[in-house]
Structure 1
Amino acid sequence: MTWTESETETVAVTADDGVVLWASRSGAGEPLVLCHGGPGLWDMFGDAAGLLADLATVVRWDQRGCGRSQRCAGPWTSERFVADLDAVRRHFALDRMALLGHSWGAQLALSYALAHPERVSALVYVAGTGIGPDADWHEAFVENFRARLGDHPERLARWQELTNRPRRTEAEDRERAVLQWSVEFEDRERALEYAGRMADPWFAINDECNKALNAERKRVWGTPELYAACRSLDVPVTIVDGARDIRPRTAVDSLERALPNVRRVTLPEAGHMVWTNDPKGFREAVARAF
């Protein structure tokens, strides 16, 4: 199904267990469904969707319990989130769709493609961390994060102060998130400005969701079963990396080696927020993917 209108349509999608998910559709062309990062966050793809509006019908959604979607008690599992993504597909009457996932959303999009390859025309895997164990990347990420935020010692000190507080106000939660997200932008002079845009509008971070899905990744990622499933995936995959991402890009080598039909695009001047750091390179990579 191809959407031909240029307006943005905002809808409520009901999952098979009754939880209501926020979703929107804009642009024109073949369907491209975006999976946002987190876990526990919400769709922040406004700028990316604008870059792609003339290439595809762009569908965005907030994952369950997050952002504009209904607050609920979970369950917080990849299987449940894959089912929610399928509910989005059905709502928009898509027989097949291209998927683009960013960060944690790249993991979710990959999980969906592994579960339902016949429903995925192409997968764009952006700024993920591969299919190996956390040991492949997490320690280096933490070290790089502290070094990057430490370029502004007052920001690091404030982030540590807020992180160590047993309770924070909503305003303090937002301040902490903006400081944390600022490390993802290569334009260091405008990093806080860009991170502030990510936090506008602000919704409470779902910490329970974040902890549960990260714990699941630690149990499941890096297993022989996952490597075998990726080796059998009959879907064209484009991996898009920002070379300056503070998550080591070598972690993604595990995924690239396993996939039978893969192309990898590394944008040398981009970090984790690829479309902000290099909008032209990001748009070209996505345009070639489907």
Structure 2
Amino acid sequence: MIADLDAVRRRYGLARVSLLGHSWGATLALRYAVAHPDRVEKLVYVSGTGLDEGWEEEFRANFTARLGDEWERWRELRSRRRTEDEERELAVLQWSADFADRSKARGYAERMANPWFEINYECNAVLGKETWPSAFTECRQLEVPTLIIDGAQDLRPRWSVDSLFETLPSAKRVVLEDAGHIPWLEVPDEFEAAVGAFLDPA
């Protein structure tokens, strides 16, 4: 996937690019910058999981608590074969947990599922098992200016993201208090202002 990103850069004849990645995409953008620091002007790391391992257990506990009454329905769907409509329902339930404002969470998740594209769980599982043993060493050497931006109410523990901020030599951190995992939907003005000021400070 790093090679795919570089192919896009070459296709448009760009010597350097600014990259923005969200969630797992934040990790991909970071790894591209580590692999090709001379080709990245700026990096925006949105709602990633940082460098510290072991965050999954806390995430699962937060996820269960955030779903509340819908947890049993999610667990029941997750445990069996599903129709296409049920597959979409499962995704909407899961994605709704990523929003801090519970009164709007279902609506945001429905928007994300329209149009509906089938989820490749096999690919997801493979990517989830990937490790990066040299992450701390490589990130300490990355001089690319980086904005780490996330929501304070993201289910993924922020202490893991703190590890990345403390490791990168040229990083700025913005935490949006009223947002979860997808801040540009919940606090679009704050998100746009932070990213815009970083990419174009003039």
TM category, shorter: over 0.9
Q: Distance in 2 between matches of 1:178 and 1:274?
A: 17
Q: CA RMSD in A?
A: 1.0
1:104-145: CA deviations, max 9, x gaps? 010000000000111111000011110121x1x211110010
Of 183, 192, 195, which aligns to 2:109? 195
Q: Tell me if 1:159 matches 2:77.
A: no
1:88-99 maps to which residues of 2 (within 5 A)? 88-99=8-19
Gap runs ≥5 in structure 1: 1-80
SS of alignment partner, residue 124 of structure 1: strand
Q: Tell me if 1:285 matches 2:194.
A: yes
Q: Distance in 2 between matches of 1:190 and 1:132?
A: 31
The structure, 1 or 2, with the larger RCO (C-alpha pairs under 8 Å, 6+ apart) is 2
Q: Tell me if 1:106 matches 2:26.
A: yes
1:82-106: CA deviations, max 9, x gaps? 1111112122222211101111010
Q: Distance in 2 between matches of 1:276 and 1:159?
A: 23
What displacement does 1:283 show?
A: 0.6
Structure 2 partner of 1:204:
118
Structure 2 partner of 1:178:
92
Of 160, 168, 174, which aligns to 1:251? 160
TM norm structure 1: 0.67
Q: Distance in 1 between matches of 2:154 and 2:139?
A: 24
Of 267, 271, 279, which aligns to 2:176? 267
Structure 2 partner of 1:216:
130
The number of equivalent residue pairs is 199
TM norm structure 2: 0.95
Q: Distance in 1 between matches of 2:182 and 2:14?
A: 28
Q: Distance in 1 between matches of 2:125 and 2:102?
A: 29
Higher helix proportion, which one? 2
Could you tell me which amino acid in structure 2 is paired with residue 96 of structure 1? Answer: R
Q: Distance in 1 between matches of 2:61 and 2:100?
A: 17
Q: Distance in 1 between matches of 2:94 and 2:83?
A: 16
Gap runs ≥5 in structure 2: none
